[in-house]
Amino acid sequence: MHIDLSGRTALVTGSTQGIGYAIAAGLARAGARVAVNGRRSESVDEAVERLRGETGSDGLVAAPGDLASEEGTRGVLDVLPAVDVLVNNLGIFGATPPLEIEDAEWRRYFEVNVLSAARLIRAYLPGMKERGWGRIQSIASDSAIVIPAEMIHYGMTKTSLLALTRGFAKDAAGTGVTVNSVIAGPTHTAGVEDFVYQLVSRDLPWDEAQHEFMIKYRPQSLVQRLIEPEEIANMVVYLSSPQASATTGGALRADGGYVDSILP
């Protein structure tokens, strides 16, 4: 399948590293003009340069801003008043005993993981509908369905993201705009390496630590390994394409078979 996104502009939130970075690279390779986002201008500029070297794209844009705040969001919208593809990838996670999660932390997780996506969809969807074409995806997680005991605040936000995305898909019905979620499984990123070492001994080499983590904390995985960010990006690039025109309102799984369900 040849995916050509030439002439399309995409914004990938939280894209200076990890899954977001891989998605930005995939969209750039498909020919899209891609805006890279992060809170710090320095890290965004560094990511843009790395992506330019890796993809050969001259259509990369720096769009720094803290999307968990209204002010930071306005800064990004000033750089990009309109996009054709929006990927809500920004998210935070961490292990905390359930009874120790305080009100401020519940609010922070909701503002970063859910409200940032709502703000951007609200800003960009009207223009997509007017133009008769657009692609919106929110990166959810297996934790939306299989709530982990060690981070229920994170799981709650990803469940909310599924509902948010489905609701906006209904608002976009019949307009040529598709709105979907991608359910990412346990994925190998620098942040996840830190998270794994919160739960297993730091004395273990990475391969052994990863294996112990999967056996103890993610035994449902059918691939029995962490997923690579590029594997999530492949799904996102497809959903961003004209070929995915009949897929909307969905929660598509790139989870390594982690969720023990036929649907979604």
Ramachandran category for residue 169: left, alpha or beta (phi over 0 → left; psi -120 to 50 → alpha)? alpha
Q: Of these residues, 21, 109, 124, 154, which one is catalytic? A: 154
Supply φ then ψ for residue 130, to 5 degrees: -65, -40
Cβ-based neighbour number of residue 148 at 10 Å: 15
CA 125/CA 83 separation, integer angstroms: 9
Establish whether the linkage from the previous residue to 98 is cis, with ω within 30° of 0: no
CA 65/CA 74 separation, integer angstroms: 8
| Residue 10, both tokens | 């995409």
CA 148/CA 19 separation, integer angstroms: 20
Q: What is the DSSP letter of 17?
A: S
Active site residue 154: yes
Q: Which residues does the annotation mark as catalytic?
A: 154
